[in-house]
Amino acid sequence: MALSAAEIERGVKHLRRADPVLRKVIRRAGPFTLKLRHDRFQALVFSILSQQISGKAAAAIRKKLMDRVGPDGLTPENMASLPIEELRSIGLSKQKASYIHDLAARVREGTLPLRGLARLPDDDVIEALVQVKGIGVWTAHMFLIFSLGRLDVMPHGDYGVRSAIQKLYALQELPDRATCHRIAEPWRPYASIAAWYCWRSLDF
């Protein structure tokens, strides 16, 4: 499902009115161009393998993984069939390989119905996802924003968002969860759009 252009326009207008700091970021960054990741299983696999490594290293592992699964693509069946040692040979740690096996098993068994998540409220999506080994609140927030297109998610645990808030609002240290949510209060109900502009501000 694509993000509604009309709703995005309303969100950007709201943020311009509600927050003078963000208004300057929006003016400089330009249009909101977030693209949804429609393959939900792949998005979760990529989130797990990207944890605690550089973007460059994650991209290299993603390429090796996609080369390994071939034309059949990244499916729960393919991932379940790949032994832990084979996943380790393309750069995944033993722990991350076990996380991906757990994810694949839950999707195959139906205990994590990825299609059905779109019908659930945000908190219920988070609760369902964090049952998977290796998936925490940060990964669940990224899934809500980039896979389900939820427009009012405040990813308070994301280092990029926290760093952007620190710089934009001239804070002496990285904001904690409470500070992030206090600053984000005027952004509601479009915190996801605001978070995207926070990420973009780091490019300036």
Peptide bond into 189 cis (omega under 30): yes
Q: Per the structure block, which two tokens stand in for 187?
A: 């952004």
Does the annotation count 158 as an active-site position?
yes
% helix / strand / coil in the chain, to the nearest 5? 65, 0, 35
Selecting among 19, 72, 102, 158, the annotated active-site residue is 158
Note the maximum CA span of the chain.
53
With both helix axes pointing from N to C terminus, report the angle between 20-29 and 191-201 in degrees, rounded to the nearest 10: 60
Q: Which amino acid is at 156?
A: H
The upper half-sphere exposure of residue 10, i.e. CA atoms within 13 Å in the direction of its Cβ, equals 10
- Catalytic residue list: 158
